[in-house]
Chain A
Amino acid sequence: MSLRRTVFFEDHVDAGGRMVPFAGFELAVQYEGLRQEHECVRQRVGLFDVSHMGEVFVRGPKALQAVQHAITNDASRLDDGQAIYTCMCTSQGGVVDDLVVYRLDEEEFLICVNAANRDKDFAFLQANNPHGADLVDEGDRWAQLALQGPLAQRVLQRVTQEHLDDLPRYTMFFDRSTVAGVEGCLIARTGYTGEDGFEIFAPARSARPLWTALLEAGAPEGIKPCGLGARDTLRLEAGMHLYGHELTEDTTPWQAGLGGVVALEKGSDFVGRSALIERKGTASERLCALVMRDKRIPRQGMPLVSEGEYAGRITSGTRSPTLGYGIALGYVRSDLARVGRELQVDVRGSLSPAEVVRRPFYKRTT
Protein backbone atom coordinates (compact mmCIF):
# COMPACT_ATOMS: atom_id res chain seq x y z
CA MET A 1 0.00 0.00 0.00
CA SER A 2 1.43 3.37 -0.91
CA LEU A 3 1.76 6.05 1.72
CA ARG A 4 -0.73 8.86 1.81
CA ARG A 5 0.16 12.51 2.01
CA THR A 6 -1.67 15.27 3.82
CA VAL A 7 -2.54 18.49 1.99
CA PHE A 8 0.44 20.15 3.69
CA PHE A 9 3.03 17.62 2.45
CA GLU A 10 4.95 20.08 0.27
CA ASP A 11 5.01 22.63 3.08
CA HIS A 12 6.71 20.05 5.30
CA VAL A 13 9.33 19.25 2.69
CA ASP A 14 9.94 22.97 2.11
CA ALA A 15 10.35 23.46 5.86
CA GLY A 16 13.08 20.80 5.96
CA GLY A 17 10.84 18.14 7.48
CA ARG A 18 12.31 14.64 7.72
CA MET A 19 9.47 12.57 6.29
CA VAL A 20 8.75 9.12 7.71
CA PRO A 21 5.94 6.58 7.33
CA PHE A 22 3.41 6.71 10.18
CA ALA A 23 0.00 5.03 10.27
CA GLY A 24 -0.07 4.85 6.48
CA PHE A 25 0.87 8.50 6.03
CA GLU A 26 4.08 10.24 5.12
CA LEU A 27 4.61 12.69 7.97
CA ALA A 28 7.43 14.81 9.38
CA VAL A 29 9.18 13.32 12.40
CA GLN A 30 11.10 16.57 12.93
CA TYR A 31 12.09 19.79 11.23
CA GLU A 32 14.76 21.83 13.04
CA GLY A 33 15.24 19.32 15.87
CA LEU A 34 13.19 17.45 18.40
CA ARG A 35 14.45 19.35 21.45
CA GLN A 36 14.02 22.78 19.86
CA GLU A 37 10.47 21.90 18.80
CA HIS A 38 9.61 20.42 22.19
CA GLU A 39 10.87 23.47 24.06
CA CYS A 40 9.12 25.81 21.65
CA VAL A 41 5.76 24.23 22.51
CA ARG A 42 6.46 24.31 26.26
CA GLN A 43 7.62 27.94 26.24
CA ARG A 44 5.95 29.55 23.21
CA VAL A 45 3.91 27.90 20.48
CA GLY A 46 4.29 25.15 17.86
CA LEU A 47 2.31 23.98 14.84
CA PHE A 48 1.64 20.30 14.09
CA ASP A 49 0.01 18.70 11.05
CA VAL A 50 -2.30 16.08 12.53
CA SER A 51 -4.37 15.50 9.40
CA HIS A 52 -3.72 11.78 9.74
CA MET A 53 -6.19 11.68 12.62
CA GLY A 54 -9.59 10.29 11.65
CA GLU A 55 -12.93 12.10 11.78
CA VAL A 56 -16.15 10.11 12.06
CA PHE A 57 -19.49 11.91 12.15
CA VAL A 58 -22.54 10.44 13.84
CA ARG A 59 -25.73 12.14 12.72
CA GLY A 60 -29.49 11.95 12.98
CA PRO A 61 -32.14 11.67 15.69
CA LYS A 62 -30.42 8.56 17.07
CA ALA A 63 -26.94 10.10 17.14
CA LEU A 64 -26.66 10.42 20.92
CA GLN A 65 -27.94 6.89 21.50
CA ALA A 66 -25.42 5.53 19.01
CA VAL A 67 -22.53 7.37 20.62
CA GLN A 68 -23.64 6.29 24.09
CA HIS A 69 -23.80 2.68 22.95
CA ALA A 70 -20.27 2.75 21.48
CA ILE A 71 -18.26 4.66 24.10
CA THR A 72 -17.54 4.09 27.78
CA ASN A 73 -17.91 7.71 28.90
CA ASP A 74 -21.21 9.62 29.21
CA ALA A 75 -21.93 11.82 26.18
CA SER A 76 -25.37 12.78 27.52
CA ARG A 77 -23.60 15.28 29.79
CA LEU A 78 -22.40 17.28 26.79
CA ASP A 79 -23.90 20.55 25.64
CA ASP A 80 -23.41 21.79 22.09
CA GLY A 81 -19.72 22.45 21.53
CA GLN A 82 -18.48 20.39 24.46
CA ALA A 83 -16.02 17.50 24.19
CA ILE A 84 -15.11 14.45 26.26
CA TYR A 85 -12.22 12.04 26.25
CA THR A 86 -13.32 8.40 26.23
CA CYS A 87 -12.54 4.82 25.30
CA MET A 88 -14.41 2.42 23.06
CA CYS A 89 -14.17 -1.16 24.29
CA THR A 90 -14.76 -4.63 22.90
CA SER A 91 -17.45 -6.79 24.44
CA GLN A 92 -14.64 -8.27 26.56
CA GLY A 93 -13.73 -4.82 27.88
CA GLY A 94 -10.47 -4.39 25.93
CA VAL A 95 -9.75 -0.95 24.54
CA VAL A 96 -10.58 -0.59 20.82
CA ASP A 97 -9.37 3.00 20.81
CA ASP A 98 -9.17 6.14 22.90
CA LEU A 99 -10.78 9.16 21.33
CA VAL A 100 -12.38 12.56 21.75
CA VAL A 101 -16.11 13.01 21.13
CA TYR A 102 -17.41 16.50 20.28
CA ARG A 103 -21.10 17.35 20.35
CA LEU A 104 -21.86 19.80 17.53
CA ASP A 105 -25.59 19.67 18.21
CA GLU A 106 -28.03 17.10 19.53
CA GLU A 107 -28.11 15.35 16.17
CA GLU A 108 -24.46 15.63 15.22
CA PHE A 109 -21.34 14.30 16.98
CA LEU A 110 -17.75 14.33 15.74
CA ILE A 111 -15.49 11.52 16.89
CA CYS A 112 -11.78 12.14 16.45
CA VAL A 113 -9.99 8.79 16.29
CA ASN A 114 -6.36 7.64 16.14
CA ALA A 115 -4.83 7.47 12.69
CA ALA A 116 -3.79 3.84 12.98
CA ASN A 117 -7.33 2.84 14.05
CA ARG A 118 -9.41 4.70 11.48
CA ASP A 119 -10.69 1.67 9.60
CA LYS A 120 -11.04 -0.50 12.69
CA ASP A 121 -12.98 2.16 14.58
CA PHE A 122 -15.37 2.88 11.75
CA ALA A 123 -16.05 -0.84 11.33
CA PHE A 124 -16.63 -1.11 15.08
CA LEU A 125 -19.09 1.80 15.03
CA GLN A 126 -20.97 0.28 12.09
CA ALA A 127 -21.10 -3.11 13.78
CA ASN A 128 -22.41 -1.59 17.01
CA ASN A 129 -25.10 0.75 15.73
CA PRO A 130 -28.37 -0.89 16.81
CA HIS A 131 -30.23 2.42 16.72
CA GLY A 132 -29.38 3.05 13.08
CA ALA A 133 -27.70 6.43 13.34
CA ASP A 134 -26.00 7.86 10.25
CA LEU A 135 -22.27 7.10 10.38
CA VAL A 136 -19.91 8.82 7.97
CA ASP A 137 -16.14 8.39 7.83
CA GLU A 138 -15.05 11.89 6.83
CA GLY A 139 -11.34 11.31 7.49
CA ASP A 140 -10.38 12.14 3.93
CA ARG A 141 -12.44 15.32 3.85
CA TRP A 142 -10.75 17.01 6.81
CA ALA A 143 -7.28 18.34 7.35
CA GLN A 144 -6.30 18.98 10.95
CA LEU A 145 -3.69 21.25 12.49
CA ALA A 146 -2.75 21.49 16.16
CA LEU A 147 -1.52 24.86 17.41
CA GLN A 148 -0.10 24.20 20.86
CA GLY A 149 1.67 26.18 23.55
CA PRO A 150 1.11 29.00 26.03
CA LEU A 151 1.06 31.62 23.24
CA ALA A 152 -1.28 29.66 20.95
CA GLN A 153 -4.31 31.85 21.63
CA ARG A 154 -2.44 35.06 20.82
CA VAL A 155 -1.35 33.59 17.48
CA LEU A 156 -4.69 32.10 16.47
CA GLN A 157 -6.55 35.29 17.44
CA ARG A 158 -4.64 37.15 14.71
CA VAL A 159 -6.24 35.02 11.98
CA THR A 160 -9.81 34.55 13.19
CA GLN A 161 -12.72 36.77 14.22
CA GLU A 162 -13.90 34.27 16.84
CA HIS A 163 -13.47 35.35 20.44
CA LEU A 164 -11.08 32.71 21.69
CA ASP A 165 -11.51 33.95 25.26
CA ASP A 166 -15.00 32.44 25.01
CA LEU A 167 -13.65 28.98 24.20
CA PRO A 168 -12.86 27.04 27.40
CA ARG A 169 -10.68 23.94 27.45
CA TYR A 170 -12.37 20.89 25.89
CA THR A 171 -14.90 22.88 23.90
CA MET A 172 -15.31 23.66 20.23
CA PHE A 173 -16.89 26.46 18.20
CA PHE A 174 -19.52 24.25 16.59
CA ASP A 175 -20.68 26.91 14.14
CA ARG A 176 -18.24 26.83 11.27
CA SER A 177 -15.45 29.38 11.72
CA THR A 178 -13.18 31.12 9.26
CA VAL A 179 -9.46 30.85 9.97
CA ALA A 180 -6.97 32.79 7.82
CA GLY A 181 -9.60 33.03 5.11
CA VAL A 182 -10.33 29.30 5.13
CA GLU A 183 -14.06 28.85 5.64
CA GLY A 184 -15.88 25.98 7.29
CA CYS A 185 -13.34 25.26 10.05
CA LEU A 186 -14.05 23.80 13.47
CA ILE A 187 -11.86 25.26 16.22
CA ALA A 188 -11.46 23.14 19.36
CA ARG A 189 -9.48 23.95 22.50
CA THR A 190 -7.96 20.50 22.78
CA GLY A 191 -4.56 18.95 22.29
CA TYR A 192 -2.04 16.25 23.08
CA THR A 193 0.85 18.19 24.57
CA GLY A 194 -0.14 19.14 28.12
CA GLU A 195 -0.20 22.81 27.07
CA ASP A 196 -2.99 25.19 26.22
CA GLY A 197 -3.77 25.01 22.54
CA PHE A 198 -6.15 24.41 19.70
CA GLU A 199 -6.98 21.78 17.15
CA ILE A 200 -8.35 23.17 13.93
CA PHE A 201 -10.37 20.91 11.66
CA ALA A 202 -10.42 22.38 8.15
CA PRO A 203 -11.98 21.15 4.90
CA ALA A 204 -9.11 19.33 3.19
CA ARG A 205 -9.88 20.84 -0.22
CA SER A 206 -9.33 24.41 0.94
CA ALA A 207 -7.06 23.95 3.97
CA ARG A 208 -3.68 24.33 2.29
CA PRO A 209 -3.12 28.07 3.04
CA LEU A 210 -3.63 27.48 6.78
CA TRP A 211 -0.17 26.08 7.43
CA THR A 212 1.73 29.06 6.09
CA ALA A 213 -0.80 31.55 7.48
CA LEU A 214 -0.42 30.20 11.01
CA LEU A 215 3.38 30.13 10.80
CA GLU A 216 3.35 33.73 9.58
CA ALA A 217 0.89 34.78 12.28
CA GLY A 218 3.12 33.21 14.91
CA ALA A 219 6.42 34.58 13.65
CA PRO A 220 6.57 37.33 16.35
CA GLU A 221 6.17 34.58 18.98
CA GLY A 222 8.91 32.44 17.44
CA ILE A 223 6.53 29.69 16.32
CA LYS A 224 8.10 26.52 14.89
CA PRO A 225 6.68 23.67 12.82
CA CYS A 226 6.80 20.56 15.01
CA GLY A 227 7.00 16.89 14.07
CA LEU A 228 5.89 13.53 15.39
CA GLY A 229 9.01 13.27 17.57
CA ALA A 230 8.12 16.31 19.66
CA ARG A 231 4.46 15.27 19.68
CA ASP A 232 5.50 12.01 21.36
CA THR A 233 7.85 13.51 23.97
CA LEU A 234 5.29 16.21 24.81
CA ARG A 235 2.45 13.75 25.31
CA LEU A 236 4.64 11.42 27.33
CA GLU A 237 5.75 14.21 29.69
CA ALA A 238 2.07 15.05 30.08
CA GLY A 239 1.44 11.38 30.99
CA MET A 240 -0.98 10.85 28.10
CA HIS A 241 -1.68 7.43 26.63
CA LEU A 242 -0.77 6.41 23.11
CA TYR A 243 -2.82 3.68 21.49
CA GLY A 244 -0.70 0.68 20.56
CA HIS A 245 1.62 1.42 23.48
CA GLU A 246 -0.32 1.96 26.72
CA LEU A 247 -3.64 0.87 25.23
CA THR A 248 -4.48 -2.25 23.24
CA GLU A 249 -7.42 -4.61 22.98
CA ASP A 250 -5.68 -6.69 25.68
CA THR A 251 -5.86 -3.85 28.22
CA THR A 252 -8.92 -2.56 30.04
CA PRO A 253 -9.45 1.11 30.88
CA TRP A 254 -9.23 0.09 34.55
CA GLN A 255 -5.67 -1.15 34.38
CA ALA A 256 -4.65 1.72 32.10
CA GLY A 257 -5.64 4.24 34.76
CA LEU A 258 -8.61 5.39 32.70
CA GLY A 259 -11.38 4.37 35.09
CA GLY A 260 -12.46 8.00 35.06
CA VAL A 261 -13.75 7.67 31.50
CA VAL A 262 -15.83 4.55 32.23
CA ALA A 263 -19.31 5.71 33.19
CA LEU A 264 -20.90 2.44 34.29
CA GLU A 265 -23.98 4.24 35.62
CA LYS A 266 -24.64 6.54 32.69
CA GLY A 267 -28.12 5.15 32.30
CA SER A 268 -27.66 3.21 29.09
CA ASP A 269 -25.87 0.03 28.19
CA PHE A 270 -22.70 0.19 26.11
CA VAL A 271 -20.39 -2.29 24.43
CA GLY A 272 -18.17 -3.94 27.03
CA ARG A 273 -20.10 -2.72 30.08
CA SER A 274 -20.81 -6.10 31.66
CA ALA A 275 -17.23 -7.28 31.06
CA LEU A 276 -15.90 -4.07 32.58
CA ILE A 277 -18.03 -4.58 35.69
CA GLU A 278 -16.65 -8.10 35.98
CA ARG A 279 -13.03 -7.14 35.37
CA LYS A 280 -12.85 -4.12 37.68
CA GLY A 281 -10.01 -4.54 40.19
CA THR A 282 -8.82 -7.85 38.74
CA ALA A 283 -5.86 -6.71 36.65
CA SER A 284 -2.54 -8.44 37.26
CA GLU A 285 -0.67 -5.39 35.94
CA ARG A 286 -1.46 -1.69 36.13
CA LEU A 287 -0.12 1.27 34.20
CA CYS A 288 2.44 3.27 36.16
CA ALA A 289 4.64 6.28 35.56
CA LEU A 290 8.34 5.70 36.15
CA VAL A 291 11.37 7.94 36.41
CA MET A 292 14.94 6.76 36.05
CA ARG A 293 17.39 7.25 38.90
CA ASP A 294 20.43 7.12 36.65
CA LYS A 295 21.21 8.50 33.21
CA ARG A 296 19.94 5.59 31.15
CA ILE A 297 16.94 6.07 28.89
CA PRO A 298 13.99 3.69 29.15
CA ARG A 299 12.47 2.46 25.89
CA GLN A 300 9.34 0.62 24.84
CA GLY A 301 9.60 -3.13 25.44
CA MET A 302 12.25 -3.06 28.16
CA PRO A 303 11.44 -5.44 31.04
CA LEU A 304 10.95 -4.20 34.60
CA VAL A 305 12.58 -6.19 37.38
CA SER A 306 12.09 -6.37 41.15
CA GLU A 307 14.31 -8.53 43.35
CA GLY A 308 15.41 -10.51 40.34
CA GLU A 309 11.88 -11.26 39.16
CA TYR A 310 9.72 -9.99 36.33
CA ALA A 311 7.91 -6.86 37.48
CA GLY A 312 6.40 -5.57 34.25
CA ARG A 313 7.35 -3.88 30.99
CA ILE A 314 7.76 -0.42 29.56
CA THR A 315 5.25 0.74 26.96
CA SER A 316 6.70 4.21 26.21
CA GLY A 317 9.95 5.75 27.30
CA THR A 318 12.20 8.66 26.47
CA ARG A 319 14.50 11.20 27.99
CA SER A 320 12.28 14.06 29.07
CA PRO A 321 13.54 17.21 27.37
CA THR A 322 11.95 19.35 30.10
CA LEU A 323 13.16 17.33 33.11
CA GLY A 324 16.48 16.11 31.73
CA TYR A 325 16.13 12.47 32.78
CA GLY A 326 14.48 9.28 31.61
CA ILE A 327 10.71 8.90 32.01
CA ALA A 328 8.45 6.03 31.07
CA LEU A 329 4.96 4.61 31.19
CA GLY A 330 4.69 0.90 31.71
CA TYR A 331 2.64 -1.95 33.07
CA VAL A 332 3.76 -2.98 36.55
CA ARG A 333 2.67 -6.05 38.53
CA SER A 334 -0.29 -4.92 40.63
CA ASP A 335 1.43 -5.85 43.91
CA LEU A 336 4.28 -3.47 43.02
CA ALA A 337 2.24 -0.70 41.38
CA ARG A 338 2.53 1.93 44.10
CA VAL A 339 3.95 5.45 44.01
CA GLY A 340 7.40 5.38 45.60
CA ARG A 341 8.08 1.74 44.73
CA GLU A 342 11.64 1.20 43.52
CA LEU A 343 12.11 -1.07 40.51
CA GLN A 344 14.81 -1.78 37.98
CA VAL A 345 14.71 -1.40 34.22
CA ASP A 346 16.55 -3.97 32.14
CA VAL A 347 18.40 -1.67 29.73
CA ARG A 348 19.86 -4.04 27.16
CA GLY A 349 21.05 -6.46 29.79
CA SER A 350 22.09 -4.15 32.60
CA LEU A 351 19.74 -3.10 35.41
CA SER A 352 19.09 0.57 36.07
CA PRO A 353 17.18 1.94 39.09
CA ALA A 354 13.77 3.51 38.57
CA GLU A 355 10.93 4.66 40.79
CA VAL A 356 7.16 4.68 40.38
CA VAL A 357 5.86 8.27 40.48
CA ARG A 358 2.57 10.06 39.98
CA ARG A 359 1.36 11.00 36.51
CA PRO A 360 1.86 13.41 34.86
CA PHE A 361 5.60 14.04 34.77
CA TYR A 362 4.96 17.59 33.66
CA LYS A 363 2.01 19.87 34.37
CA ARG A 364 1.79 23.43 33.15
CA THR A 365 1.65 25.88 36.01
CA THR A 366 -0.20 28.82 34.44
Chain B
Amino acid sequence: MNFPDDLKYTDHDEWVRVDGDLLTLGISDFAQDQLGELVHIELPEVGAQLSAGDVACEVESVKAVAEVYAPVDGEVVEVNEALDGAEDTVNEDPYGSGWLLRMKISDPGKLSTLLDAGSYRQRVASA
Protein backbone atom coordinates (compact mmCIF):
# COMPACT_ATOMS: atom_id res chain seq x y z
CA MET B 1 0.00 0.00 0.00
CA ASN B 2 1.21 3.43 -0.97
CA PHE B 3 1.53 6.44 1.38
CA PRO B 4 3.45 9.24 -0.34
CA ASP B 5 5.97 10.98 1.88
CA ASP B 6 5.06 14.49 0.68
CA LEU B 7 1.53 14.24 2.17
CA LYS B 8 0.13 14.53 5.68
CA TYR B 9 -2.47 12.13 7.07
CA THR B 10 -5.23 12.14 9.69
CA ASP B 11 -6.43 9.63 12.26
CA HIS B 12 -9.47 9.09 10.04
CA ASP B 13 -7.50 7.99 6.98
CA GLU B 14 -7.68 11.24 5.05
CA TRP B 15 -4.63 12.68 3.28
CA VAL B 16 -3.85 16.37 3.13
CA ARG B 17 -1.63 18.35 0.76
CA VAL B 18 -0.82 21.87 1.95
CA ASP B 19 0.16 24.54 -0.56
CA GLY B 20 0.40 27.98 1.05
CA ASP B 21 -3.04 28.73 2.51
CA LEU B 22 -4.70 26.10 0.27
CA LEU B 23 -5.26 22.52 1.29
CA THR B 24 -6.27 19.55 -0.86
CA LEU B 25 -8.11 16.67 0.82
CA GLY B 26 -8.60 13.04 -0.16
CA ILE B 27 -8.80 9.56 1.35
CA SER B 28 -5.78 7.31 1.74
CA ASP B 29 -4.99 4.19 -0.21
CA PHE B 30 -5.81 2.21 2.95
CA ALA B 31 -9.22 3.89 3.24
CA GLN B 32 -10.19 3.24 -0.38
CA ASP B 33 -9.07 -0.37 -0.07
CA GLN B 34 -11.12 -0.88 3.09
CA LEU B 35 -14.23 0.65 1.57
CA GLY B 36 -14.01 -1.10 -1.78
CA GLU B 37 -15.20 0.40 -5.03
CA LEU B 38 -16.82 3.77 -4.41
CA VAL B 39 -20.23 4.28 -5.98
CA HIS B 40 -21.38 7.59 -4.54
CA ILE B 41 -19.68 10.71 -3.19
CA GLU B 42 -21.58 13.51 -1.50
CA LEU B 43 -19.40 16.60 -1.95
CA PRO B 44 -19.99 19.88 -0.07
CA GLU B 45 -21.03 23.15 -1.67
CA VAL B 46 -18.27 25.47 -2.76
CA GLY B 47 -18.28 28.30 -0.22
CA ALA B 48 -19.19 26.08 2.74
CA GLN B 49 -17.46 27.16 5.95
CA LEU B 50 -16.11 24.16 7.84
CA SER B 51 -14.55 23.78 11.26
CA ALA B 52 -11.94 21.15 11.97
CA GLY B 53 -13.78 17.89 12.62
CA ASP B 54 -16.89 18.81 10.58
CA VAL B 55 -18.08 16.30 8.02
CA ALA B 56 -16.72 17.65 4.74
CA CYS B 57 -18.12 14.92 2.52
CA GLU B 58 -19.31 11.33 2.46
CA VAL B 59 -17.87 8.52 0.40
CA GLU B 60 -19.90 5.37 -0.14
CA SER B 61 -19.14 1.96 -1.52
CA VAL B 62 -21.74 -0.72 -2.03
CA LYS B 63 -21.07 -2.05 1.43
CA ALA B 64 -20.26 0.98 3.54
CA VAL B 65 -20.34 4.72 3.95
CA ALA B 66 -17.55 6.79 5.47
CA GLU B 67 -17.48 10.41 6.50
CA VAL B 68 -14.55 12.54 5.50
CA TYR B 69 -13.70 15.24 8.04
CA ALA B 70 -12.29 18.70 7.55
CA PRO B 71 -8.79 18.63 9.06
CA VAL B 72 -8.72 22.38 9.78
CA ASP B 73 -11.04 25.38 9.86
CA GLY B 74 -11.61 26.89 6.44
CA GLU B 75 -13.76 27.49 3.39
CA VAL B 76 -14.39 25.00 0.60
CA VAL B 77 -13.08 26.66 -2.55
CA GLU B 78 -13.25 23.79 -5.04
CA VAL B 79 -14.73 20.30 -5.23
CA ASN B 80 -13.73 17.55 -7.66
CA GLU B 81 -16.74 17.56 -10.01
CA ALA B 82 -15.02 15.05 -12.27
CA LEU B 83 -15.79 12.31 -9.74
CA ASP B 84 -19.51 12.46 -10.56
CA GLY B 85 -20.16 9.21 -12.40
CA ALA B 86 -16.50 8.24 -12.05
CA GLU B 87 -16.38 7.66 -8.29
CA ASP B 88 -13.96 4.75 -8.69
CA THR B 89 -11.29 7.25 -9.72
CA VAL B 90 -10.75 7.54 -5.95
CA ASN B 91 -9.94 3.83 -5.83
CA GLU B 92 -7.63 3.96 -8.81
CA ASP B 93 -5.76 7.17 -8.03
CA PRO B 94 -6.52 8.26 -4.45
CA TYR B 95 -3.68 10.80 -4.26
CA GLY B 96 -4.01 12.22 -7.77
CA SER B 97 -7.16 12.59 -9.84
CA GLY B 98 -9.14 11.06 -6.95
CA TRP B 99 -8.81 14.17 -4.75
CA LEU B 100 -12.07 15.29 -3.13
CA LEU B 101 -11.97 19.00 -2.33
CA ARG B 102 -9.83 22.08 -1.74
CA MET B 103 -10.11 24.39 1.26
CA LYS B 104 -8.76 27.82 2.04
CA ILE B 105 -7.20 27.45 5.48
CA SER B 106 -8.38 30.04 8.01
CA ASP B 107 -6.59 28.56 11.04
CA PRO B 108 -3.34 26.78 10.22
CA GLY B 109 -2.81 25.82 13.88
CA LYS B 110 -4.43 22.38 13.50
CA LEU B 111 -2.01 21.44 10.71
CA SER B 112 0.56 20.57 13.35
CA THR B 113 -1.59 17.69 14.61
CA LEU B 114 -1.46 15.85 11.27
CA LEU B 115 0.59 12.69 10.90
CA ASP B 116 3.54 12.32 8.60
CA ALA B 117 3.70 9.34 6.25
CA GLY B 118 5.88 7.29 8.61
CA SER B 119 3.53 7.67 11.59
CA TYR B 120 0.50 6.98 9.42
CA ARG B 121 2.10 3.85 7.99
CA GLN B 122 2.62 2.58 11.55
CA ARG B 123 -0.96 3.36 12.41
CA VAL B 124 -2.24 1.37 9.43
CA ALA B 125 0.08 -1.52 10.22
CA SER B 126 -1.35 -1.79 13.73
CA ALA B 127 -4.99 -1.41 12.59
Contacts and interface: CB of A to CB of B under 8 A. Distances in A.
B36 A297 contact: no
Nearest to A297: B60
Contact of B40 (A34, A35, A38, A319): A319
A259 interface: no
A33 interface: yes
B125 interface: no
B37 A297 contact: no
Interface string A36-53: 001000000000000000
A318 B40 contact: no
Contacts, number: 34
Most B CB atoms within 10 A — which of A34, A232, A233? A34
Interface in B1-60: 36-37, 39-40, 42, 58, 60
B40 A321 contact: no
Chain B at the A interface: mostly helix, strand, loop or mixed?
strand
B37 A319 contact: no
Contact of B37 (A29, A35, A296, A348): A35
A299 interface: yes
A35 B62 contact: yes
Given A319-B60, A348-B58, A295 B65 contact: no
Interface residues of A, number: 17
Contacts of A33: 36-37
Contact of A30 (B36, B39, B42): B36
Nearest to A320: B62
B60 to A, nearest CB: 5
A318 B63 CA distance: 7
A42 B58 CA distance: 29
Given A35-B37, A297-B65, 15 more contacts: A30-B36, A33-B36, A33-B37, A34-B36, A34-B62, A35-B36, A38-B62, A229-B62, A232-B63, A233-B62, A295-B40, A296-B40, A299-B65, A319-B39, A319-B60
Interface of B: 36-37, 39-40, 42, 58, 60-63, 65
